[in-house]
Chains A and B, each alone.
Chain A
Amino acid sequence: MSKAKTQQPAVIHKVIMVGSGGVGKSALTLQFMYEEFVEDYEPTKADSYRKKVVLDGEEVQIDILDTAGQEDYAAIRDNYFRSGEGFLCVFSITEQESFQATSEFREQILRVKNDDNIPFLLVGNKADLEEKRQVTAEEAQHRAQQWNVPYVETSAKTNANVDKVFYDLMREIRSRKMDASKQNNGKKIKKKDSKRKKCTIL
């Protein structure tokens, strides 16, 4: 791999961070990217990162879209979701509202992607602040089971489980891609199926 810089690994997994404002999406992203914890809070608009990682011996790229927790426009939010292949749905275990909001995010993602099995992880962040916990592991676990997705508790501050959530999600994306390529073996993706059913919200 001593070739030119532009020689990127072919596979790119597109991960999207969703969740309410202030739950630590950017903190998780920055911890994963640079292994540093940023204490100051500054609302994100929409940032994108790309990094080369080795996933089970294979060199791939991860493309992270760190979205704004407070995005007012549904159309724009839909555009974010459309570009993703897997989602880390983050809430803060110290804030019940952020946990409630995950349902809404999940619903929107499923609506946009029209795929119940989209790679998706429910992430309870700020696990280091056990004393301020408002969301129990059980109820989060329960919701994850309902959605048939994994639930992981992380701490961007202590770097607990941070790499795990990203790598787990990438593995799911990868296996989904392999299934898809097996299924339509050279054929085009059936576009008709992905036709989006519109439902009006609010």
Chain B
Amino acid sequence: MADKRLIADLSVKGFDPNLYVSRAAEGGEDALLDLKQRIHILGDKTAQELKKNVYKNYSQFIDTAREISIVEGEMYQLSHMLTEQKGLMASMMEMSLVSDKAVVEEPQKEAEPEINPKEETRRNLAFLLEKVEGCSSVTEVPGRQLIHNGDLTELDIESLTPTQKVHAFLLTDSLMIASWLPNRRGPVRYRFQGLYELDNLAVVNVRDAGPVKNAFKILMFPASKIYQTDSAKSKRQWLDILEETKKKKASRDKQKKEVVQRLAEQQSVASLSRVEEASKTSFVDEEDKTTLVEFETDTLLQEDWLQELPENLDMCIAQRDFEGAVDLVEKVNEYLKESSKSPSLKEFRARIDHRVKQLTEGLMSELQVSPERSLRGGPRAARRAVAQLIRLGKSAQACDLFLKNRSAIIKYNIRQLKFEGATTLYIRCMCAVFFNSLLETSKEFLKAFPNHYGCYSAFIVWCKQELELFVKTFNRHVFDGKTSSTTVAECVSISRKHCQELCQSGLDIAYLFDGLISSDLENTIIEKREQLKDIVKYRSADDLWRPMNHMSQKDCQKYLDEMASARMDLKDYVYQECFISLTMNTAQFAKSCFQYTEDLLLVYSQEHEALITDSLVQVISEQLQHIEASLKSDKFKEDHNFILKNALFIVEVLMGRLERLYRDFQVTFPPELNAIRENYKHLKAVAKSVKT
């Protein structure tokens, strides 16, 4: 109650704190203290309330923001749907115009036999080319016409749920299905999906399939599809037209057969009579000749196995029996090679060619690199598809795909390697993977493309490309500026060794590799040289020419061991157990110089010889210059003997070691380095001249 009054008091308009306090003070100390406490409590409460309010506002703000983002998403969806609808409307308007035309044309055709069928076909099917992607082969068959077309919805054969929108084109002898490409502007709205011959296409009227209306099935081995039209009328139309077209085709085929038969009879009679006539006149009517040819080819096509060939080919392709399919194709090619061209043969050819195309696609997809396919099959898996493609005369494609496949395998394998720790180790693994793959590929290539010399150049080009990629990765790891020259040297020599191995199997890419890393390698050599020279300068600045004192025998031994690991034997220089009669500077220089030489020799190649020699000479000369300067200096007048001893160590012992190293690497010791030895005499002379 008191609190409420307090709140009321404090929140009065025109509240005068002074007046309030002075009035409250009248009540004495206790009342004042009490008031103070109450005001404090009120203050805390208000602060808390304020905090709560802020939080509440904030959470409301978040909720609102969320709601807005949802609304935004919905708006976006809506606009997307609208544009889709718009596209659909546009395409529907175009389509309906055309299909009207097709339907109108139909009866006309029936009324009068086509005057110029070829022209008609062109016009009719050219429209297909404009609308459908990848259907050029369809339009090539002479006499083929568009009978009917329309939009259909493809349903899942099991669940009857819509799967995709298609557009179907009924042609005189086949049904073409093209899938609808959403979000596509311009005239091309469909992608070619399949062409099915009416001969073995079964149409089933779906009378009742629960809630799904206006559907019909198309059974085409090996697939069967179910399509839905937008109205009962258009379904009826489709079924009727399909039926009619099939019948027409059947009667056409029948007529043809009859003609052939009749011709055969005539021919046999004619040939008999001609034999008699031949003696009288050798003149044969030109027209007669053509009919004869036609007759021959048509009887040629009457062969049973030939009749069944398209179907058998389909089966082989469906069963992925590619060898069998190619066998069939070769057989038919062989069989039809001799025969001349006639319309019926052309038609048959078109049927075969269509399947050959399918077969090629199948084989190509076998070789295609796709993310979901495992690459572990290796080159032997690809060999089968390659061999069949070559038999089909597609060696160029086969070669291209084969190499692409190999590229992917190499890339995959290299990616599988984990980069952890030592660069050398990683490079070693990478080299092993890469060069083994190259070797494997080259072997496989020779096996897969025997006598296809044209493909070999493609292989060489491929090798070069792969090597370039490899070197790119190699460079990134090896010449990144932070790697020590020793690591660089090791990595380069590992790769070179692999190159040489490859060379033994007939593929020389060593020169390519050297060429690709040459500039980086030179940079590394020069960089290291400058680094060493800097170190010499730096060490020389505070060289006091004192023997090394290792304080104890144990420590001395430790140092000796350390140097020995760098193949420097300093035992002879030890005196008084813990002293070594060389300066620290000299010993360290000898060690790093030796290491540097070893690295250089590891990457040695003829073209770098001058650089290597020059670098070594520069580094050693730098050290000798320091010695000469020390001899000339007044500071070390007393130390001449010791200095000369160090000089001798460098000129004799170190140079000796380097010479042996050169021998180990079977490289001739360059005279420029040998000449360095002469410097000792010069130094001695300098010492003498200073003393006197």
Contacts and interface: CB of A to CB of B under 8 A. Distances in A.
A and B form one complex: yes
Contact of A75 (B200, B208, B217): B200
B163 interface: no
Given A80-B219, A200-B304, A75 B311 contact: yes
A173 interface: no
B106 interface: no
B244 to A, nearest CB: 12
B271 interface: no
A52 interface: yes
Interface in A74-126: 75-80, 82-83
Contacts, number: 80
B209 interface: yes
A54 interface: no
Contacts of A160: none
B158 A12 contact: yes
Nearest to B324: A195
A3 interface: no
A61 to B, nearest CB: 8
B200 A79 contact: yes
B219 A83 contact: yes
Contacts of A78: 200, 221
Contacts of A82: 219, 221-222
Nearest to B210: A50
B207 A49 contact: yes
A64 to B, nearest CB: 9
Contacts of B202: 46, 76-77, 79-80
Interface in A58-84: 65, 72-73, 75-80, 82-83
B220 interface: yes
Interface in B173-204: 199-204
B209 A83 contact: no
Given A83-B219, A191-B319, A200-B304, A65 B159 contact: no
A65 B157 CA distance: 13
Contacts of A83: 219, 224
Interface string A1-20: 00001101000100000000
A179 interface: no
Interface in A162-202: 191, 195-196, 198, 200
A136 interface: no
A48 B207 contact: yes
B211 interface: yes
Interface residues of A, number: 29
A198 B312 contact: yes
A76 B312 CA distance: 15
A80 B217 CA distance: 11
B200 A49 contact: no
B564 interface: no
B304 A6 contact: no
A50 to B, nearest CB: 4
A17 B308 CA distance: 26
Contact of A51 (B161, B208, B304): B208
A196 to B, nearest CB: 7
A50 B209 contact: yes
Interface in B272-314: 304, 308, 311-312
A45 B206 CA distance: 11
Contacts of A8: 158-160, 210
Contact of A198 (B207, B211, B308, B319): B308
A76 B201 contact: yes
B167 to A, nearest CB: 23
A79 B201 contact: yes
B208 A73 contact: no
A102 to B, nearest CB: 21
A80 to B, nearest CB: 5
A33 interface: yes
B200 A5 contact: no
Contacts of B224: 79, 83
A76 B200 contact: yes
A50 B208 CA distance: 6
A51 B211 CA distance: 10
Nearest to A82: B221
B248 to A, nearest CB: 14
Given A8-B210, A82-B221, A46 B204 contact: yes
Nearest to A66: B207
B243 interface: yes
A50 B211 CA distance: 10
A65 to B, nearest CB: 6
A96 B463 CA distance: 75
Interface in B308-335: 308, 311-312, 315, 319
Contacts of B319: 191, 195
B250 interface: yes
Contacts of A51: 208, 210
B199 A75 contact: yes
Contact of B210 (A47, A52, A76, A80): A52
B205 interface: yes
Nearest to B206: A48
A47 B204 contact: yes
28 contacts: A6-B211, A8-B159, A8-B210, A45-B243, A46-B203, A47-B205, A47-B207, A48-B206, A48-B207, A48-B209, A49-B206, A49-B209, A50-B206, A50-B208, A50-B210, A72-B250, A73-B199, A76-B199, A76-B200, A77-B202, A79-B201, A79-B202, A80-B202, A80-B219, A82-B222, A83-B219, A83-B224, A195-B319
Given A78-B200, A80-B219, A191-B319, 16 more contacts: A8-B160, A8-B210, A45-B239, A45-B243, A48-B206, A49-B206, A49-B207, A49-B208, A50-B209, A51-B210, A75-B311, A79-B219, A79-B221, A82-B221, A196-B315, A198-B308
Interface of A: 5-6, 8, 12, 33, 45-52, 65, 72-73, 75-80, 82-83, 191, 195-196, 198, 200
Interface of B: 158-161, 199-211, 217, 219-222, 224, 239, 243, 250, 304, 308, 311-312, 315, 319
